[in-house]
Amino acid sequence: MNSPNCIRIGTRESALALYQAREVQSKFDKSIQTEIVEITSDGDIDLQTPLYEMGIQGIFTKSLDIALLNGKIDVAVHSAKDIPTKLAKGLIICALLERGTTHDCLVLPAGRKSFDQEGANIIASSSLRRRSQWLHRYPHHQMENLRGNIQTRLKKVDASNWNGAIFAQAAIERLNITSHHFISLDWMLPAPAQGAMAVVCREEDSEIRKICEVINHKPTEICVTVERDFLATLQGGCAVPIAANAKLEDDKIHLRGNIFSLDGKNKSEVDMFFELGQAKEAGKLAAAAVLQKGGEPILKTFRSIL
């Protein structure tokens, strides 16, 4: 770190990433000087290849990881769902801000206010998780790939013959996008850690870790950690359609999770409650239950093609 009172905050260059970096910046004590450092990620350069075909974990975090390990920045801010379950050696998640909306949403082309789900619709998303859950519910629909930042994707939606595209609702809300109507998909389970902002730092940097502890939101940390454990146990990433959502309800952890086949025809899901004292085991136990309820053969189909 440059000095005890200056924190260099690394972020991607997109509008959403910058919003998140500024949100983290605003949480630090006002006596601490901060600087935002923009870094281009590999995931922002290649906007054509579907994420699941890019062949590496942490496509949106790799460049910031390198900057952290090289000492160019002191912390990196990410959408928590983009962080691999196994971080680069020497790095650690040191804070999670209070979580926003976890739902996905269907964004309609500009000017449209309604969606006829019975029609022969074309829906866009690069996420296998979103695609498989959508096809499970609407097997007569067609899915198209869609990559890019929020603004780029909205322009593609308007310029295409698509009937809509699936976005993280938290992203639409954080950028206060009012140009397009969206429909909340409360039936679709989100990606593990969706809606949460994470701060990553060097594991050895005890001073930064101590500063970041102050801005950490413990309930969010518990839920996100359970979801990431669920994902890690199933050994999934963006190449496997795995979903999980944990909530704290009456001093218990309520965890729902699932895994789908690519075509959406087959699935295995769980809906379980755990005591808070089981937080460290909850994700693993739920993942084991998913495998026992038919998830193992689904997962094997992905292992054979990865």
Q: Is 82 a catalytic residue?
A: yes
Cα 73 from Cα 210, distance rounded (Å): 17
Catalytic residue among 82, 104, 205, 229: 82
- Work out whether strand 75-79 and strand 197-202 pair parallel, antiparallel, or are unpaired: antiparallel
Q: How far is CA 240 from the centre of its chain?
A: 14
Spatial strand order in the sheet of 91-96 = 33-38, 6-11, 75-79, 197-202, 91-96
Burial of 59-72, coded b for 16+ CB within 10 Å and e otherwise, reads bbbbbbbebbeeee
- Catalytic residue list: 82
